[in-house]
C-alpha cells in the first residue's frame, strides 16, 4: 500500500467507476471499496466526489440503478453498467492507454 | 440516446423532485449506515462508529448539494430558486426595495429618454433605399454658408456623371401653395427637379412622377401629391391621375401620387417641377441639391473629382468667385448637422446620473449585506459555496435593476414626450412634436443591456464582500451589528466620494448652460418683439410674379390691418429681424469697381417695418409710401455695414448698385441712394453678432427678384397690437384673405414664440442638464446621509460609552460631521478637477460664459457642500443625543 493516497486525475474517476462496475452491480460503498481494492489503495474515493459522479454518469445514460438488498440485508441503491456504459468504458480505457503510452514515452525520452 | 436520456433526466429532476430527493436521502443514509456497521463489526462502540462514519463521509449536506449541483437542469432550477428567493427577500424589505427601484428607475429612465432621442436622430438609418449613397451639396466658402446652390452650379453637378448617378434640386423650404376650397388652406409644397424622386427612391402609389418635358420651361402646370394629401383631400380617389387641382387659383394637372411611407425632407404635401432653363447665368442661390453617388464611389472620391472640375466651372463663369469650392457630404450628416455633439454630451451627462444611482444602490446593498451576515453564514454552513452566494446576490441585484429598467422604460417614454412638449428642442428627424421618437428594438435592447449592466455593476462589490464573511465568527456573533469592517467602510466611502464628484461635474455643466441661457436672454436683440404677431402667406399666381402685384398687396393688406381696432401698426417683409438669410453683392458708386467689392445681408421690407419692431434710425430717414416703383431708388443700411464700408465718412447720400452679375433676377435694379442708418439687430440669431445688412423697399425691387421670392418662400405679415396679439388673429386673417383675394395665412405665431424657438436648442440642453444636475444632487445627498446615518447607528454603543466617560456632546457632533464632510469635500475636489477637463466638451454650446467661469466654479462647490452639510447634520445631531444608558443596555 502506498503511504499517501494520490489525488485523482481529472477524468480518471469516471473511468474507475465504470471499471469497478464492469465485474458486476454494486452500491455506493461497494464501488468505493472496489476502487480502493483494484488500485491497491492508491485511490480513496470520498463520497463528496463519488456521489456527484454516480449521478452524473447515470444521467449520461452510462449507468442504470435499482434498489436492492445489501449483503447485510440493508436497502441500498445498486448501480449497473448499461450497454452505452460498456462501450464508453472501452472507449475511455483505450484513450487512457494512449495517454499512458504517450506520457511514458515522453518521460523516457532523453 | 445521450440527449434523450439527458432530457428525461432534466424533466425528472424538475418535476419529480421529491422522489429524486428522497432517493438521494436514502442512498446517503444507507452509505453511512453501512460504514457504521463495518466499524461496529470491527469492534467500535455504536456511537463511536457512527461518529467516525460521519467524519469519513464529510458534510452530508455538502455532498447532497454537490450532487444537486451536478444534476441535469440544475442551472435552470437553481436560477428559478434564486429568483423566487430574491423576490421573497426584496418583498421582505419594502423600504430598501422602493428606494433602490426609485433610484434605478430614475437613472435608467433618464438614459432611456435620451437614448430614444439619440436613436431617432443619429442612429436610425434614413428610410431611403440608397441612403448610404445619398449626398448633399455643401457650400463651405460662400459669404453665407447656407448650402444653397444656383442653376449653373446645379448643371455643373449634373455634368459630373463619373461620380454621380443622379442629381436633383429641391426647394429649401418652399413658398407654400394655397389650395382653393371652402376653407382655403396653405399646403406645404416644394419644387423639385425631375430626378428628385429617383434620388430619394420614392415609391409611386399612382400614376408617375415628372417627365423631362414637364420639368423644362413651359412644361405645363403639373403636380405630384403626397399619400397624406391624397387621402385627406381626395379621399384616396383611385382615378385622381389626370384630374385638376387649384393652387392659388390656377389649375394644375395631377400626374401621380407617391407611396405612403415616403418622408421627404423638407416635408411636403405636394411637389411641383422647377422647370429650370437648360442654359442659365442666373447666379441666385435659392435651392438645395442632393445626389446619388454611383455604386462604389466614395464621398472622398466624389469630392476629389469636384475639386478637379471646379476650375472648368470658374472658366465657364468668369464672374464667379474662384475660391468657391464644391463639396458633397452624406445626406445623413447634413440632416443631423451639429446636433450630434450636443446629443452625445447629453448622453454622457445622463450616464453620469446612472452611475450615481448605481453607487447609491450599491451602498444600500452593502448596508443590507451587513445586516444579512448571519443569513449568509447559515447558508454556507448548509452547503452553499461562495460562488453560490455571490450568484444568489447577483440574481437579486439584476432582478432589481431589471424591474428598475422596466419602470425606467415607461418613465423614459413618458418623460421624453413631456420634455419635448415643454421644450421643442429644434431637433431634426424627430417628427412633429417628437412623434418619430418611439420604442424600437434599439431602445429596448439599450434599456435591457443598461439594466443588466447596472445590476451587475452595483451588485458585484456588495456580493463579493458579503460572501467573504468568516463563517465561524459570524455565527458566534450575538448581534447582527457586527462586521462593519474597515474594508467595507472604505468601499462605501469611495462610493460616496465618487457620487459627490460626479454630481459636481453635472452641476457645473448645468450651471454653465444656465448662465449661457441667461446671457442669451440678456442680449438685447436690437428690436422689440413683444405684442407682435407674425404669419406667412404664399403668393401664388401670375400677379405676384411682378413687383407691382406684391407691392399692391403689401399696401392693401397694411391698410386693412391698420384699420383693425387694437392694431397699432402692420408691415410686410420676407424675413424676420432675428433671421435674415439672403445676401447680395453690390458696388459703391464713385469708388473703383472691384470684383467682390462689397456684399451684405439684403432684405426687402414695407414701410413701417422698422417702426413696428422699434428699430431706431440713427441717421437719415425711414422708408415712406413715396419710395415706390419709378421713384429714385433708396436703401437703408445698418450700423455694422456703415462702420465696415464708411468708417470715416457719412454713408447717407452715398450710392450703391446691387446685384451686378447675379443674372436676370436683378435686371432693372436701380442705382440706390442710402437714405438712412438703422441700429444693429441680431440678424443671424441671438448668439451671433449683428451682420452688415442693407434694406430696400418691397415696391422698388426688380420684377425678377419679386418673382423669385414668390417662388421660393412665403411673405411675412407682421402686426403690432396694443394688447395680447392672439386677440387679433381672427380679424387679421379675415382682412388678409380679403386683401389677397382669398389666400389663407399659415404659421401664425407671436414674435415671442419665434424668439423662443430661436433658442430652443439652448433651452433644451439647459433644461436637461439642470434636471440631471438636480437629480444628481439629491442622489448624492441621500448617499452621504445614508452613509453617515448608518455609521452613527452602528456606533451607537461607542457613542454611548464616550458620553458615559464624559465626552463633550458638541465635540461628538463635530466628529461625525467632520467625518461626513471630509468625504463630501474630497468628492468636491475630485469633481472640480474633472470638471476643468470636461467643461471643454461643452465649450461650443456656451455663450457669454467661459468653460472655467470662476462664478460657476466657486458657487457650485459651495452649494454642493452646503447640501452635504445638511445631509450630515441630522446623523451628527442624532449621535450627540445618544442616551448612554439606553445605548449600553441595547447590546
In this prediction the ipTM stands at: 0.83
> Which neighbouring-strand residues pair with B603?
B695
Question: pLDDT for B713-752, tens place per residue?
Answer: 899 999 999 999 999 999 999 999 999 988 888 889 999 9
- Residues on chain A touching B66 (C-beta within 8 angstroms): 48, 51-52
The predicted pLDDT at position B891 comes to 52
| Contact assignment for B66 to A51 by CB distance below 8 Å | yes
The predicted pLDDT at position B616 comes to 94
- What pLDDT band is residue B145 in, cutting at 50, 70 and 90? low
- Residues on chain B touching A47 (C-beta within 8 angstroms): 28, 31, 56-58, 63
- What pLDDT band is residue A28 in, cutting at 50, 70 and 90? confident
Average pLDDT estimate for B287-300: 92
| Contact assignment for B28 to A84 by CB distance below 8 Å | no
3-class DSSP assignment, residue B251: strand
- What pLDDT band is residue A71 in, cutting at 50, 70 and 90? confident
The predicted pLDDT at position B633 comes to 94
The predicted pLDDT at position A8 comes to 56
Q: Indicate the burial class of B592 (C-beta count within 10 angstroms; 0-12, 13-18, 19 or more).
A: exposed
| Contact assignment for B62 to A76 by CB distance below 8 Å | no
> CA-CA distance, B764 to B845, in Å (whole number)?
12
- Residues on chain A touching B75 (C-beta within 8 angstroms): none
The predicted pLDDT at position B54 comes to 81
Contact between A60 and B4 under an 8 Å Cβ cutoff? The reply is no
Say which of B34, B62, B72 has its CB closest to residue A70. Answer: B34
> CA-CA distance, B233 to B229, in Å (whole number)?
6
* Lowest mean pLDDT segment, chosen from B126-140, B460-474, B852-866: B460-474
| Contact assignment for B34 to A47 by CB distance below 8 Å | no
3-class DSSP assignment, residue B264: coil
The predicted pLDDT at position B193 comes to 94
| Contact assignment for B30 to A47 by CB distance below 8 Å | no
Average pLDDT estimate for B235-243: 91
Question: pLDDT for B834-857, tens place per residue?
Answer: 999 888 888 888 888 888 899 999
Q: At what angle do helices B60-70 and A47-59 cross, to 10 degrees?
A: 30
> CA-CA distance, B31 to A44, in Å (whole number)?
15
The answer, as to whether pTM is greater than 0.95, is no
> Which neighbouring-strand residues pair with A35?
none
Q: Who has greater pLDDT, B798 or B198? A: B198
- Residues on chain A touching B54 (C-beta within 8 angstroms): none
Cell numbers 444632487 label which residue? B777
Q: Who has greater pLDDT, B431 or B111? A: B111
- What pLDDT band is residue B5 in, cutting at 50, 70 and 90? low
Min Cα separation B34/chain A (Å): 8
The yes-or-no verdict on residue A109 having pLDDT over 50 is: yes
Contact between B765 and B586 under an 8 Å Cβ cutoff? The reply is no
| Contact assignment for B58 to A28 by CB distance below 8 Å | no
Say which of B26, B31, B69 has its CB closest to residue A29. Answer: B31
The yes-or-no verdict on residue B416 having pLDDT over 90 is: no
| Contact assignment for A77 to B30 by CB distance below 8 Å | yes
Element (H, E) at B192: strand B189-192
| Contact assignment for B66 to A52 by CB distance below 8 Å | yes
Say which of B9, B56, B63 has its CB closest to residue A51. Answer: B63
The predicted pLDDT at position B138 comes to 84
- Does the CA dihedral B585-B589-B595-B596 come out positive or negative? negative
H helical segments located in B93-222: 94-118, 151-159, 196-199
The yes-or-no verdict on residue B454 having pLDDT over 90 is: no
In order of B31, B101, B357, B771, the CA distances from B350 in angstroms are 61, 17, 11, 10
What is the full DSSP assignment across B532-556? EEEEEE---SGGGGSHHHHHHHHHH
- Residues sharing a CB contact under 8 Å with residue B216, sequence separation 6 or more, in sequence order: B275, B278
In a mutagenesis test of the B interface, which of A17, A27, A33, A47 is the best target, namely the one with the most B β-carbons within 10 Å? A47
The predicted pLDDT at position B290 comes to 92
- The answer to whether the peptide bond before residue B266 is cis (omega within 30 degrees of 0) is yes
Average pLDDT estimate for B328-340: 83
| Contact assignment for B67 to A51 by CB distance below 8 Å | yes
The yes-or-no verdict on residue A49 having pLDDT over 70 is: yes
Average pLDDT estimate for B127-137: 87
Averaged pLDDT score across all residues of chain B: 86
3-state secondary structure B694-752: EEEEHHHCCHHHHHHHHHHCCEEEEEEECCCHHHHHHHHHHHHHHHHCCCCCEEEEEHH
Amino acid at each position: 500500500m502506498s503511504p499517501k493516497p494520490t489525488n485523482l486525475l481529472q477524468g480518471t474517476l469516471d473511468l474507475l467507476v465504470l471499471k469497478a462496475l464492469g465485474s458486476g452491480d454494486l452500491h455506493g460503498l461497494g464501488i468505493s471499496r472496489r476502487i480502493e481494492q483494484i488500485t491497491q489503495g492508491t485511490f480513496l474515493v470520498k463520497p463528496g466526489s463519488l456521489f456527484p459522479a454516480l449521478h452524473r454518469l447515470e444521467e449520461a445514460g452510462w449507468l442504470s440503478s435499482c434498489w436492492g438488498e445489501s449483503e447485510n440485508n440493508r436497502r441500498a441503491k445498486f448501480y449497473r453498467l448499461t450497454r452505452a456504459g460498456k462501450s464508453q468504458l472501452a472507449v475511455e480505457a483505450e484513450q487512457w492507454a494512449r495517454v499512458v503510452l504517450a506520457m511514458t514515452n515522453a518521460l523516457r525520452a532523453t | 440516446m445521450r440527449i434523450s436520456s439527458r432530457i428525461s433526466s432534466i424533466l425528472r429532476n424538475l418535476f419529480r423532485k421529491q422522489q429524486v430527493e428522497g432517493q438521494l436521502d436514502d442512498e446517503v443514509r444507507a452509505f453511512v449506515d453501512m460504514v457504521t456497521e463495518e466499524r461496529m463489526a470491527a469492534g467500535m462502540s455504536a456511537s463511536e462508529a457512527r461518529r467516525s462514519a460521519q467524519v469519513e463521509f464529510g458534510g452530508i449536506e455538502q455532498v447532497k448539494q454537490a450532487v444537486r449541483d451536478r444534476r441535469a437542469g440544475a442551472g435552470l432550477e437553481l436560477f428559478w430558486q434564486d429568483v423566487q428567493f430574491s423576490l421573497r427577500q426584496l418583498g421582505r424589505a419594502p423600504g430598501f426595495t422602493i428606494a433602490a427601484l426609485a433610484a434605478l428607475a430614475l437613472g435608467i429612465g433618464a438614459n432611456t429618454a435620451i437614448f430614444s432621442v439619440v436613436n431617432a436622430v443619429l442612429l436610425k438609418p434614413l428610410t431611403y433605399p440608397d441612403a448610404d449613397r445619398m449626398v448633399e451639396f455643401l457650400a463651405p466658402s460662400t459669404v453665407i454658408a447656407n448650402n444653397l446652390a444656383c442653376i449653373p452650379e446645379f448643371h455643373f453637378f449634373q455634368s459630373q456623371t463619373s461620380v454621380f448617378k443622379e442629381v436633383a434640386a429641391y426647394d429649401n423650404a418652399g413658398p407654400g401653395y394655397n389650395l382653393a376650397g371652402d376653407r382655403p388652406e396653405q399646403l406645404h409644397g416644394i419644387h423639385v427637379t425631375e430626378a428628385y424622386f429617383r434620388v430619394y427612391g420614392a415609391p409611386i402609389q399612382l400614376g408617375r412622377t415628372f417627365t423631362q418635358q414637364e420639368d423644362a420651361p413651359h412644361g405645363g402646370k403639373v403636380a405630384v401629391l403626397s399619400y397624406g394629401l391624397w387621402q385627406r383631400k381626395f379621399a384616396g380617389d383611385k382615378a385622381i391621375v389626370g384630374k385638376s387641382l387649384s393652387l392659388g387659383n390656377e389649375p394644375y394637372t395631377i400626374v401621380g401620387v407617391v407611396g405612403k411611407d415616403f418622408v421627404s425632407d423638407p416635408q411636403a404635401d405636394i411637389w411641383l417641377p422647377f422647370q429650370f432653363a437648360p442654359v442659365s447665368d442666373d447666379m441666385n442661390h435659392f435651392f438645395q441639391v442632393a445626389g446619388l453617388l454611383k455604386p462604389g464611389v466614395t464621398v472622398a472620391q466624389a469630392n476629389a473629382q469636384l475639386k478637379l472640375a471646379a476650375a472648368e466651372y470658374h472658366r465657364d463663369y468668369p464672374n464667379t468667385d474662384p475660391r468657391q469650392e464644391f463639396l458633397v457630404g452624406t445626406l445623413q450628416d447634413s440632416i443631423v448637422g451639429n446636433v450630434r455633439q450636443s446629443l452625445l454630451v447629453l448622453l454622457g451627462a445622463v450616464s453620469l446620473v446612472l452611475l450615481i444611482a448605481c453607487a447609491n444602490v450599491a451602498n444600500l446593498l452593502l448596508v443590507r449585506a451587513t445586516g444579512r451576515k448571519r443569513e449568509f453564514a447559515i447558508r454556507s454552513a448548509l452547503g452553499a459555496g461562495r460562488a453560490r452566494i455571490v450568484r444568489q446576490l447577483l440574481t437579486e441585484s439584476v432582478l432589481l435593476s431589471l424591474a428598475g429598467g422596466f419602470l425606467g422604460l415607461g418613465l423614459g417614454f413618458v418623460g421624453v414626450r413631456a420634455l419635448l412638449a415643454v421644450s421643442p428642442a429644434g431637433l431634426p428627424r424627430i417628427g412633429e412634436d417628437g412623434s418619430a421618437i418611439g420604442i424600437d428594438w434599439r431602445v429596448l435592447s439599450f434599456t435591457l443591456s443598461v439594466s443588466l449592466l447596472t445590476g451587475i455593476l452595483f451588485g458585484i462589490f456588495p456580493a463579493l464582500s458579503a460572501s467573504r464573511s468568516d463563517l465561524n465568527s459570524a455565527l458566534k456573533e450575538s448581534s447582527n451589528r457586527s462586521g462593519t469592517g474597515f474594508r467595507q467602510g472604505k468601499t462605501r466611502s469611495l462610493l460616496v466620494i465618487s457620487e459627490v464628484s460626479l454630481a459636481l461635474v453635472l452641476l457645473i455643466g448645468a450651471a454653465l448652460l444656465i448662465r449661457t441661457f441667461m446671457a442669451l436672454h440678456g442680449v438685447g436683440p436690437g428690436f422689440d418683439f413683444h405684442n407682435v404677431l407674425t404669419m406667412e402667406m404664399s403668393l401664388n399666381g401670375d400677379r405676384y410674379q411682378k413687383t407691382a402685384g406684391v407691392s399692391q398687396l403689401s399696401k392693401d393688406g397694411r391698410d386693412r390691418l391698420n384699420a383693425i381696432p387694437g392694431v397699432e401698426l402692420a408691415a410686410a417683409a420676407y424675413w424676420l429681424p432675428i433671421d435674415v438669410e439672403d445676401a447680395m453683392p453690390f458696388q459703391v458708386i464713385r469708388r473703383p469697381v472691384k470684383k467682390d467689392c462689397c456684399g451684405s445681408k439684403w432684405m426687402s421690407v414695407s414701410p413701417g417695418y422698422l417702426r413696428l419692431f422699434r428699430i431706431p434710425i440713427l441717421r437719415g430717414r425711414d422708408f415712406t409710401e413715396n419710395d415706390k416703383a419709378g421713384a429714385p431708388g433708396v436703401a437703408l443700411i445698418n450700423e455694422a455695414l456703415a462702420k465696415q464700408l464708411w468708417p470715416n465718412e457719412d454713408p447717407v447720400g452715398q450710392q450703391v448698385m446691387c446685384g451686378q452679375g447675379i443674372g436676370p433676377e436683378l435686371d432693372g435694379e436701380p442705382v440706390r441712394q442710402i437714405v438712412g442708418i438703422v441700429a444693429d439687430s441680431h440678424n443671424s440669431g441671438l448668439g451671433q453678432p449683428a451682420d452688415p445688412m442693407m434694406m430696400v423697399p418691397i415696391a422698388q425691387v426688380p420684377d425678377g427678384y419679386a418673382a423669385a421670392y414668390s417662388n421660393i418662400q412665403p411673405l411675412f405679415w407682421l402686426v403690432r397690437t396694443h394688447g395680447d396679439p392672439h386677440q387679433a388673429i381672427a380679424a387679421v386673417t379675415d382682412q388678409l384673405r380679403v386683401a389677397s383675394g382669398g389666400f389663407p395665412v399659415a404659421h401664425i405665431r407671436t414674435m415671442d414664440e419665434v424668439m423662443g424657438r430661436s433658442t430652443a436648442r439652448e433651452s433644451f440642453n439647459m433644461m436637461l442638464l439642470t434636471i440631471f444636475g438636480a437629480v444628481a444632487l439629491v442622489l448624492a445627498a441621500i448617499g452621504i446621509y445614508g452613509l453617515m446615518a448608518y455609521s452613527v447607528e452602528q456606533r451607537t454603543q461607542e457613542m454611548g460609552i464616550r458620553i458615559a466617560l464624559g465626552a463633550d456632546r458638541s465635540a461628538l457632533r463635530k466628529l461625525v460631521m467632520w467625518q461626513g464632510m471630509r468625504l463630501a469635500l474630497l468628492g468636491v475636489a475630485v469633481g472640480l478637477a474633472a470638471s476643468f477637463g470636461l467643461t471643454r466638451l461643452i465649450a461650443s454650446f456656451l455663450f457669454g460664459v467661459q468653460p472655467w467661469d470662476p462664478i460657476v466654479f466657486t458657487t457650485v462647490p459651495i452649494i454642493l457642500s452646503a447640501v452635504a452639510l445638511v445631509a450630515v447634520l441630522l446623523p451628527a445631531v442624532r449621535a450627540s443625543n445618544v442616551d448612554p444608558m439606553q445605548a449600553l443596555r441595547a447590546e
